[in-house]
Structure 1
């Protein structure tokens, strides 16, 4: 059965007081709220409910699923008063969780609490947190520990039953493994485990500020819950794969790291023993709290953005410009002589070269000691044009140098230019 988001939103706007009264339930007014007689620690107001004994509340759909044992689609139908439609052919049906309903709750969680704290040695403050939120409870029929997975709206979409005696374990029918047992923090780190017991054990070992980060059990080694969690939580920047220290766990980590979206960092934390609960069981024997056998960093890294090199003007040394011919041609800088063909650019360049090699001057130029000049041309022949014109300008031909391009033509980025200047002491 298919419900549109509009129908789901409408169901979640249902007035819970009116709904409970329509179901024949007795309510007692308490200020602006109503207390439900069947669960006297639970109050409702408008479309919100809150169970004070467990510090937990929510919206109408999860209320009906939790307290009336309805599936998701049954809860929407009961609240909205309308049946769903057949899914459009181009849209997948949500039937995978249409039959999902939480197992009935025990009147207390004594057996499940004892199993987790005594048999699994999970600290009471950790188990108490999740019992209070309703994400762990004891089912009424078989007294299994039930681990609940919710979507971002807090609606139960998954439940895993773990036997409190023996090795029984089973996902509740209709569970959607994309919404596995987890804790959603506001931080940028996500710690990923194979099973809820491992997740809880890890919290006992690393308690400091644990509620700031996020933790997810995969219910095995599949990627479905991980990819959904990352899709729903764009704040996550770093993923820590905390799977079992065995071949299956190692292989899964390699595969999951490849599947994690680009831009995220992935690390691997290997427990000291096979899994985190085994580490917890031996906690008293482990010196210095070294519960991690190995941390493998950088299974996946975001692309490194190239750093732009910046120069601060406060760090620049002030220098004085040295002039060959002030204010036209400075030493150590590029000077461009521009003009139309036939206007004397080459004549000027050769006469300037001649003056520099002989200590001569041009109009307004201060005399300088003679120095070496490198002259390169791509137009004129050295023997029939350049040398005769240098001779005419009375240049010192021993001081006029040309980089030989017979084997390889010269370019402006050619390293031979710098070498020729350095090796020959040329200044122009």
Structure 2
């Protein structure tokens, strides 16, 4: 180890997606994994910060960078009728979203075309969606000895070209299992990845989806982040959300904490405006975390006003 140079980890999105490593994003079908990834891609192609500054936060340390090229391979959605419309809706520069033509010969994780494309385009992000479609017809995704060479290969590519490789996967149907064992196939998928994220829908709030960190080898696990996805308003980041990955997947206490925060605000503001400092102190004594309170404030449409030079909160006029 005396001859090994110490290297600084660089991040596409701290602490969720590192450069030079493999990240897995998984969840049940229809939970918004692909839509979320396309939103991230859109920001990268414009050189914009991936996550906006949320209510109650100071200015993010993440700064806009140079627009980058992205390779996005999908085996489930049509490019013309699904992927491009979503990219356009997200404001992407589609000239920087690149696709390997595999119409005649299906692409696999061992395919030389993958490395050629990364080298030729200098892509900073490569997405394979979903994992199982790029294993190869002869590979059994449940056999560790067959999965390890594939994951080793993409890990080497990520490190060699210092790009982030994101593999999107579905979950198995074991609703009682721990989140780390809900991914399809061999556990070696998760073992080889340096970061694993789970996307799930919040019960009783069907438009709210949450991204939870279930493995982070290079940094402390990130706090769960929620986004809203509905037909009328499309995609919108909400902010941090107080729920664990296991609770999100099992359905235990889904949405309970934010509902408690909503009830608290409705009660404390029932008779009119209350100073923000008083609300924050009272909510802390009730065990309500700050981010949960701010999310409840936004969900209820609570307004901030400043009479007499002090910030106060008030319920919206009915």
TM category (shorter chain) comes to 0.3 to 0.5
Higher-RCO chain (CA-CA 8 Å, sequence separation at least 6) = 2
> Larger C-alpha radius of gyration, 1 or 2?
1
In the superposition, the TM-score normalised over structure 1's length comes to: 0.26
In the superposition, the TM-score normalised over structure 2's length comes to: 0.35
